[in-house]
Structure 1
């Protein structure tokens, strides 16, 4: 298998539990980059939340790319947008209506800011803002213009609150938007991430690979959680599930590697790249 592109999730995949890239994983990806293989983050994060890690891998410039907001945006690392699948003011009003079905917070994101209507900012919101280098703006609905567009929304709360909320949501909710979970965090919190129905990591990787002239069977994907599922539903990608991945990914994987705290990406790339030399 000739690899032309590696697309990797960040949290729980590329990054360790304390949000670092291990030295072995760093060396493996730097080597892949030197071999001419495109290394592309495929994350729920915005661009400011991925750039510091790409800098560690010596990946920069307009000829490198990032898949962001779970596929809601594909950008060059210089900021130019290639693909954008937005949500609208009307979507926001509907999401606020559904928020009433549970004890959950709702926040929503543009490329540059987190927005919330909760003036008592939760620890979840503060942590996400710090993690992604994004400022928080508190706005009431009347303060938001009707032409407002955003990329992703998140319902967040404790794991039990999100479980109850999900059970209260009607079928039509899941038919209208692309929804996923990034998994229960170290704080014991969980999220339901909401994107435009046509936005997904899997589709964004397909579109970027096509743009770069790569075949799908030249793409390796790494993931661990529900928001990575669309990558694993493409039978042409070579799919690597982390050792800490959910069962839905492991069942679809071509390879199950070690977990993210045990150099899982480095371990897998050694196997894959050695097999093609």
Structure 2
């Protein structure tokens, strides 16, 4: 039985205006009130999705979100951490050294802010986040050594992102799960971390498995959760890799694709 609905955000649950449509909101609220878990699964930190949590009223004691693309499983209400996998400054330095040689931008996501490594030039990542989390411009030497980090991102034109990924040295590939979340954003997660891992940890907390999961996605960072879910749903606007991995396809993100499939599956 499907007990849990996992939702990627950009270009899946959110439309092109980065909003949850009225129909998606209505259907998800109805299912949540009926007892289904509704889990936002995102690369962003929890603070950057609180407005969406409030809109969907995902504020019950057992409501959680998957953030940092599976690296952090956190309660929506008290922000208690159920599971977490992080990066050290020493690991980030592997990326820093490669970026210094090949000249690509890096932003490092800490527990409460994003550190933009300005030695490589300011990326457009702060503009993309649009005030959802605070940023600090630093040189690598000033990156706090006593903190751990959720992930590192490289925000750049699609061609730069593609070239960056293609040329990564072995030590970076061994220490990170490297995946694009859109053509212009390459994400460096802790090795072994993906959305399916976080969802498995969450469902295990409730004595369930990924066989109880329905997941929606559109990009490569959604791949593992769509493969692992009992029902993996690709958006019409998804990349070919995701459509191939999914069980079914729904309408695009601007045509309430999430709501359309949920209404059909749950006979609403």
Same fold (TM over 0.5): yes
| Conservation of the 8 A alpha-carbon contact between 1:5 and 1:40 | yes
Q: Which of residues 182, 185, 194 is equivalent to 2:188?
A: 194
The answer to whether 1:273 aligns with 2:266 is yes
For the 8 Å contact 2:110–2:147, the answer to whether it is kept is: no
> Is 1:114 aligned with 2:114?
yes
Structure 2 equivalent of residue 88 of structure 1:
88
Shift of 1:35: 0.9
Residues 58/146 of structure 1: CA separation in 2 closer, same or farther (3 Å cut) = closer
> Does the CA-based 8 Å contact 1:103-1:165 persist in structure 2?
no
Counterpart in 2 of 1:241?
234
Q: How does 1:15-34 map to 2 (within 5 A)?
A: 15-34=14-33
**Given the superposition, is the C-alpha separation of residues 128 and 79 from structure 1 closer, same or farther in structure 2, using an over 3 Å criterion?**
farther
CA distance in structure 2 between the aligned counterparts of 1:175 and 1:99, rounded to whole angstroms: 16
In structure 2, runs of 5+ residues without a counterpart are: none
Map 1:40-189 → 2, pairs under 5 A: 40-77=39-76, 78-118=78-118, 122=122, 124-130=124-130, 133-184=132-183
Q: Matched residue pairs, number?
A: 267
Structure 1 position 136, deviation (Å): 0.6
Match of 2:201 among 207, 213, 232: 207
Q: Does 2:252 correspond to 1:259?
A: yes
CA contact (8 A) 2:234 2:246 kept: yes
How far residue 32 of structure 1 moved from its aligned partner, in angstroms, is 0.7
RMSD, aligned CA? 1.8
Q: Evaluate the alpha carbon distance shift between residue 103 and residue 159 of structure 1 in structure 2; reply closer, same or farther with a 3 A threshold.
A: farther
Question: How far apart are the structure 2 equivalents of 1:90 and 1:119?
Answer: 18
**Gaps in structure 1 of 5+ consecutive residues:** 185-189
1:232 maps to which residue? 226
The answer on whether the counterparts of 1:102 and 1:161 sit within 8 Å (CA) in structure 2 is no
Cα offsets for 1:172-216 (capped at 9, x unmatched): 4323211111113xxxxx121011113210111111111112232
Whether the 8 Å CA contact 2:41–2:69 is kept in 1: the answer is yes
Question: What TM-score do the two structures reach when normalised by structure 2?
Answer: 0.93
> Over residues 82-109 of structure 1, what are the superposed CA-to-partner deviations in whole Å (9 max), with x where a residue is unaligned?
1110100111111101113434210010
Q: Tell me the distance in 1 between the aligned counterparts of 2:16 and 2:113.
A: 25
User: CA–CA distance in 1 between the matches of 2:231 and 2:84?
Assistant: 25
Separation (CA, whole Å) in 2 of partners of 1:22 and 1:129: 20
SS class of match (1:249): helix
